[in-house]
Chain A
Amino acid sequence: QSALTQPASVSGSPGQSITISCTGTTSDVGGYNYVSWYQQHPDKAPKLVMYEVTNRPSGVSTRFSGSKSGNTASLTISGLQAEDEADYYCNSFRSSGTLVFGTGTKVTVL
């Protein structure tokens, strides 16, 4: 069961915007609006920051936004802050009725 493809690392300076991509196929990302994103700080459980491509859970900063085009979903963090430094994972529903995570992206705030 192959993982969705994410860049290994993305970096930006405080206040800048960054975008993390998540590429799959027509059987997962491209075929459904069921992509979610998770933020994981070291030695902590993942935290949901986006679901169903563009929906932000209550309590998550409005600096986080999601989008999708074709087989690629994206998470954008605007006004980058030091607390945003973490690992980020996407997740998609797949036509087989299963779920699949992305390979993960390390975000560094310079």
Chain B
Amino acid sequence: QVHLQESGPGLVRPSETLSLTCIVSDYSINSGYYWGWIRQPPGKGLEWIGSISHSGTTYYNLSLKSRLTISLDTSRNQFSLRLNSVTAADTAVYYCARDRGFGFQDYWGQGTLVTVSS
């Protein structure tokens, strides 16, 4: 059983950078697969943000690509999300997940709500 846990601030000011970390337990992230982020605005559907392979190759949602960075920290067995220049439209529950490849996420974190507000 793989465990994922998101961490980071719950409130971010407009125009600033949203930063989240996903800590992975019971599986070494450099052993394989992909590691991804998905978000869900309050009352709305899921949106794929992007993912990173165990070797560090990134894949981004084209609508977020200019503001987005996903990175790995294999020494701490975690991966991170940075989203620049946020607006209220970036308010959402952010989930991290293990992606087995080609789009199926078999393990998910519990999600963390990030609110963009002044």
Contacts and interface: CB of A to CB of B under 8 A. Distances in A.
Interface string B62-103: 110000000000000000000000000000000100001011
Contact of B45 (A47, A57, A101): A101
A39 B95 CA distance: 15
A100 interface: yes
Task: Assign chain B's interface to a size class.
Answer: 20 to 34
A3 B108 contact: no
Interface of A: 1, 3, 32, 34-36, 38, 40, 45-48, 51-52, 57, 89, 91-93, 96-104
Contact of A104 (B46, B63, B105): B46
Nearest to A28: B103
B46 A96 contact: no
B104 A45 contact: no
B45 A99 contact: no
Interface string B36-79: 10100000011110010000000111110000000000000000
Nearest to B111: A45
Shortest 9 CB-CB contacts between residues of A and residues of B = A51-B104, A36-B104, A34-B102, A104-B45, A45-B108, A99-B48, A101-B46, A93-B103, A99-B103
B63 A1 contact: yes
Contacts of B36: 99
B106 A57 contact: yes
Nearest to B110: A45
A52 B99 CA distance: 13
Contacts of A98: 48, 59-62
A40 B78 CA distance: 25
Contact of B109 (A45, A52, A89, A93): A45
Given A101-B45, A101-B46, A91 B62 contact: no
Contact of A96 (B62, B104, B110): B62
A100 B36 CA distance: 13
A35 B110 CA distance: 23
A103 B103 CA distance: 16
B106 A101 contact: no
B5 to A, nearest CB: 11
B97 to A, nearest CB: 8
